[in-house]
Structure 1
Amino acid sequence: MSHRRIAIHDVLRYSNDGDATSPELDGYPNYHFLTSSFEAGLPRLLLDAGINAPALTVAPDGQRRAVIGIRSSPWKAGHATNPWHDEFDLDHGYVRYFGDHKPNSPGLPGTTTGNRTLFEALASHASPDPALRRLAPPLLLFRSITVRREGRTLVKGHIEFCGVAVIDRLENIIQRDPETQRGFPNIALDLAVISLADSGDTLDLRWIDDRRNPALTGDEAMRHAPASWRRWVAEGPPALPRVRRRVHAPRLRAREQQLPSPASADAELLQKIYRFFDARKHAFEMLASQIAADALGGQGGTYREGWLTRAGGDGGLDFVGRLDIGAPGTSAPLVVLGQAKCVAPDSSVNADQVARVVARLRRGWVGVYVTTGWFTRQAQVEIIDDEYPIVLIPGIDVVKHVRALAERTSNGDVDVVLARAVETYSDSVTHRRPEEILIR
C-alpha cells in the first residue's frame, strides 16, 4: 500500500472488531485498514483508550516508541469518566489535552498508564539532543465525532483525524470531580500541531510503518516523515513557532463560525452565561474584562486588568486594561479599551455598535469587544477595511475563554467563575481616565 494517507479533518470508521481487510466501512475510510502496516507480527494500532501506545520498537540506534495515539471524546466531557474538556484549535496548531488520571485513580498523576507514557515522551520531546528527538514518538490526534448514517445519529464508532503533534508543555493541575466536587490531581498538556502543508495537509502513514520497523534506524525511519517533523528534530523546541500548523483563512467569520454548534455542550454553556448575566448585565463587564485578559495575555505580551467604568456614562467603554509588548524593561505599554455586550446568542452586534469603541481609540490604543452574540459581516468589513486595532470576541470564543478561566482558577467549575464576576464587580468600578493605566 503506497498511498495510505489521511487528511486533517478526515472522518474515519473505527470498528470494535478491528477489521483491517476493507479500505472502507459503512461509507467511511477504515481506520484499521489505513493504520495496518501489512507487516507480519505487528499488532494493530488501537484507539480504545484516550492515550494509546504500541510496544517499544528495538531499533539499531536504540529503543523508540513508534507513535502515541490520542483520542479525545467530546461527548464524554463533564462526565465522571472524563471530567475535563480538551480544547482543539487546529487552525492555529494548538491543542490543550488532559491526561487520564481520574478522581478514583490511586497515586500521583504519573502512575496511570497513559500519563506515564506522556511523561516518558516529554523527556525526548523537550530534549536539546537531536539524537533523542529522533527517537521521540509523534502524537497522532483523533477526536470522536457524531455522524448521521442511515437516518440515525451515531455518537460512537467514528473519529476525526486532527493531525500530528509535539508536546510543547506539560503541567500538573488540580481538577474537580463533578460527582463529589472534590479536587484531584492530573496533568494538562499544550500540544503543538505541526504543519503538513508540504504533503497537502495529509499524513503519509508509511512513516508510522517505518517507525515500527526494527530494522530501520531513526534517520532511515524519517524518509516519509513530514518536513516540519524533520525540521523540529533538527532544530528542537525553538523551531515550534515555524513548524506549527496555521490555516490562512479569510478574516471574515460567518455567524456559524462565531457561535457553538447547536445542541452542543458549548451551546448550553453559552446560554447559561447569557441567562446568568441577563438580569445583571453590568456584572458581565467583569467577566468580559477577564476574558480579554485571557485572550490577550500570554501571546507575546503581558496583560494587566485595570478597572470597570461606571454604568450609564461609558460612551462605548466598559473596561480598561493594559497590554505590555516586549521583554520586561524594554516593553511598550498599550491602553486597552473594552466593550461588553451580554445579549441572546442569536443576536448580532452591528457596525454602529462596534464604531462606538473605535471612536474612543487613540493612537497606540487597542480595542476589545466581547459579546455572547455574534458580529455582523459589515461590522467585520469596516474593521478590516479601515484597519482598526480592535479584537472581536464572539460567543464561541467567550465559551472557550470561560472554560480556560475555570480550569486555571477554580478546578474547572464554571459556576465559580460566573459567581466571582458578580462578587468582584462593585469593587472594580471606578471613574478614571483610560491613560492612567499607563502609570500603574
Structure 2
Amino acid sequence: MNPRPIAMHDILRYARAASSVEVMVDGHPNFYYLMASPGKALPKVLLEAGINPPAHVRGPDGPRRPVIAIRSSPWKAGHITNPWHDEFDLDHGHVRYYGDHKPRTMGLPGVTAGNKALLEAVRFHAGTSAGERVLAPPLLLFRSITVRKEGRAIVKGYVEFCGAAVIEGLEHVVQRDPATGRSFPNLLLDLAVVDMSECGDTLDLRWLDDRRDPTLTAEEAARHAPQAWKRWIKEGSAAIPRIRRRVVSSRVKSHDAQLPVPGSLEDNALRKLYHFFDGRKHAFEYLASRVAAQLLSRSGSVYRDGWLTRIGGDGGMDFVGRLDVGTTATSTPLVVLGQAKCIIPDSSVSPDQVARVVARLRRGWLGIFVTTGTFSRRAQIEVIDDQYPLVLVPGRVLVDQVLRIAAADYSGDLDGLLADVISGYEAAITHRRPEEILSS
C-alpha cells in the first residue's frame, strides 16, 4: 500500500457522490479516497454522524474496533440537533467533545450507537497494560468548515482534519436544551491530540488500513502509527503530557537568540557582569531590580522600587516592586515579584526554577525573572502555554538594559554603575511581606 498522508488542518471534500478513486474533488483532497482501502474490502470510515464507529475487525489476537471518526459541526452548535458546543484547542492538543445523546433520546448515555462505542473504547484507552492499550481505537478528529467559492459561503460538504486523539477523561454530565429548557444526560470527553511532529504534522493513513486488516494483530497494525501513539501504548497515561500536540510559539527564543553575539561589546559586558557578581550573588539581585524597573517603566506604567529580600530567605523571591497601571486618576497597583539568577552565560534556567517563582504569585501579581544566562526551551513553553504573568529577561536583554543605565546615569562607565550597586544593595534589604508594597 502506498502512503496516503493527511496533514493537520487539511480541508477535505466530503461529497456523498464522490468515488473512492478520485484523489481530488472540487479542488480539495477527497475524503473517500483517503479513507479507502486499496484493493481490499475493509470496514468503511464515514462521517455521516458526529460519532462514526466502523465495524469491528476480528484479528489473530481477537476483535478490535479499528478507529472511531469524530465529526464536530460548529455551524450546528445551539441547534436542536446539536445544542452543545465542542471545544478544539489544537495548538495545545486538547479537545472537549460531547457525546451524541440528544434531548429527545430515551434512556441513559450509552443507548446511542456513538456513545456506546465511546464507552467501549474508554475501557482500552484507560487500560493499565500495553496489551489493553494496543487494542484502543484511535479517535480521528474532523470538524465541519465553511468554504467560500465564487463569493458564496458553503457550510456543508467540507471537513478539516484535526488529528488523532487519546481519550484522556470521560464524564457523565447533565446538559440543558436551549430550545425547550429540558435537561438531559450525556457524555463529555477530554481528548489529548497526539503529537505528529516527527512526520511533519501528518498522519500516515496506512495505519488505518492496518488496523482494519483482519490478517494483522493489533501490535502489527501499529507499525505506521505516530511515534507518540506508540509511546502512549508503551507507557500509558503518564506519557500524555509528553505526547500531547503543542504548537511552539514564535515567542520561544533559541539559546543563541537569548545571548549577545559572541565576541561583541555586549558579550564582553555580560561576561564581566557574571564574573563581577559570581562571589556576591545577592548584590546581583539589586542590579536585577534596577533592570526590572527600567523595563517595566517602558510599558507606560509607573514602577515604584521596593526592596530586596534577605539572603537565604527568598523562597523564589529576590526583590519586590510595584507597578501602577492606568492613569493618575484611575490606576491600580500590582505587586511585582522578582527573581535574579547570576549563572554562567552559556547555561540555562530550568522549568523547575521558573515554576518556583510562579508558585509565589497571587492573583493580580506580576513576576519578572532576570538572569545572566538563558531560559530553557521547556521553561519558555510552560510560561507561554500556561499564560503565566511572568516576564523573562535573559542575558541579552539584561546586558542591553545595563548598558543603557550606564550610558544614561554614569556617562557610559559600567564600572561606576557596578560600584554604585555594591555600595547601595545592603540598604535595600528588608524583611516585609510583598503585599505591603501596595500601601507604600
1:199 CA displacement: 1.0
- Partner residue in 2 for 1:227: 227
1:55–1:317 Cα change, 3 Å = farther
Share of identical aligned residues, percent? 56
Q: Is the 8 A contact 1:318 1:337 kept in 2?
A: no
1:385 CA displacement: 6.2
1:43 CA displacement: 4.1
Determine whether 1:51 maps to 2:51.
yes
- Partner residue in 2 for 1:247: 247
1:178 CA displacement: 0.8
**Uncovered stretches (5+) of structure 2, i.e. residues with no partner:** 253-327, 336-351, 370-386, 395-432
In structure 2, what is the Cα distance between the partners aligned to 1:64 and 1:35?
18
Q: Is the 8 A contact 1:335 1:435 kept in 2?
A: no
In structure 2, what is the Cα distance between the partners aligned to 1:43 and 1:152?
35
In structure 2, what is the Cα distance between the partners aligned to 1:316 and 1:52?
52
Q: How many residues align?
A: 289
TM-score, with structure 1 as normaliser: 0.61
Q: Which of structures 1 and 2 has the bigger CA Rg?
A: 2
1:48 CA displacement: 0.7
In structure 1, what is the Cα distance between the partners aligned to 2:234 and 2:40?
32
1:150 CA displacement: 2.9
CA RMSD for the aligned pairs?
3.1
- Partner residue in 1 for 2:85: 85
- Partner residue in 1 for 2:429: none
Q: What secondary structure, in the 3-state scheme, does the structure 1 residue paired with 2:20 have? A: coil
- Partner residue in 2 for 1:14: 14
After TM superposition, the structure 1 = structure 2 runs for residues 11-410 of structure 1, keeping only pairs within 5 Å, are: 11-251=11-251, 315-316=331-332, 334-338=360-364, 386=393
Residue 139 of structure 1 aligns with an amino acid whose one-letter code is L
Q: Is the 8 A contact 2:121 2:137 kept in 1?
A: yes
Q: Is the 8 A contact 2:55 2:65 kept in 1?
A: yes
Q: Is the 8 A contact 2:169 2:189 kept in 1?
A: yes
Q: Is the 8 A contact 2:130 2:236 kept in 1?
A: yes
In structure 2, what is the Cα distance between the partners aligned to 1:211 and 1:246?
26
> Could you report, residue by residue, the CA deviation over 1:108-147 in whole angstroms, capped at 9, with x for unpaired residues?
0121111110000000000102111111100000000001
1:362–1:215 Cα change, 3 Å = closer
1:335 CA displacement: 4.1
Q: What secondary structure, in the 3-state scheme, does the structure 2 residue paired with 1:110 have? A: coil
Residue 332 of structure 2 aligns with an amino acid whose one-letter code is G
In structure 2, what is the Cα distance between the partners aligned to 1:104 and 1:434?
56
Q: Is the 8 A contact 1:335 1:434 kept in 2?
A: no
1:331–1:59 Cα change, 3 Å = farther
In structure 1, what is the Cα distance between the partners aligned to 2:35 and 2:139?
14
Residue 127 of structure 1 aligns with an amino acid whose one-letter code is G
Deviates more, 1:239-248 or 1:38-47: 38-47
> Could you report, residue by residue, the CA deviation over 1:361-380 in whole angstroms, capped at 9, with x for unpaired residues?
699xxxxxxxxxxxxxxxx9
1:42 CA displacement: 2.3
**Uncovered stretches (5+) of structure 1, i.e. residues with no partner:** 253-311, 320-325, 339-356, 364-379, 388-432
In structure 1, what is the Cα distance between the partners aligned to 2:226 and 2:184?
38
Q: Is the 8 A contact 1:317 1:337 kept in 2?
A: no
> Could you report, residue by residue, the CA deviation over 1:366-407 in whole angstroms, capped at 9, with x for unpaired residues?
xxxxxxxxxxxxxx9x975658xxxxxxxxxxxxxxxxxxxx
Q: What secondary structure, in the 3-state scheme, does the structure 2 residue paired with 1:186 have? A: strand
Residue 46 of structure 1 aligns with an amino acid whose one-letter code is L
Q: What secondary structure, in the 3-state scheme, does the structure 2 residue paired with 1:49 have? A: coil
- Partner residue in 1 for 2:322: none
Residue 334 of structure 1 aligns with an amino acid whose one-letter code is R
Q: What secondary structure, in the 3-state scheme, does the structure 2 residue paired with 1:215 have? A: coil
Q: Is the 8 A contact 2:18 2:25 kept in 1?
A: no
Deviates more, 1:68-77 or 1:1-10: 1-10
1:183 CA displacement: 1.5
TM-score, with structure 2 as normaliser: 0.61
Q: Is the 8 A contact 1:32 1:44 kept in 2?
A: no
1:129–1:314 Cα change, 3 Å = farther
Q: What secondary structure, in the 3-state scheme, does the structure 1 residue paired with 2:40 have? A: coil
> Could you report, residue by residue, the CA deviation over 1:8-41 in whole angstroms, capped at 9, with x for unpaired residues?
0000000122421200000000010011012332
Residue 203 of structure 2 aligns with an amino acid whose one-letter code is L
In structure 2, what is the Cα distance between the partners aligned to 1:189 and 1:57?
24
In structure 1, what is the Cα distance between the partners aligned to 2:7 and 2:82?
27
Q: What secondary structure, in the 3-state scheme, does the structure 1 residue paired with 2:362 have? A: strand
1:116–1:18 Cα change, 3 Å = farther
Residue 64 of structure 1 aligns with an amino acid whose one-letter code is R
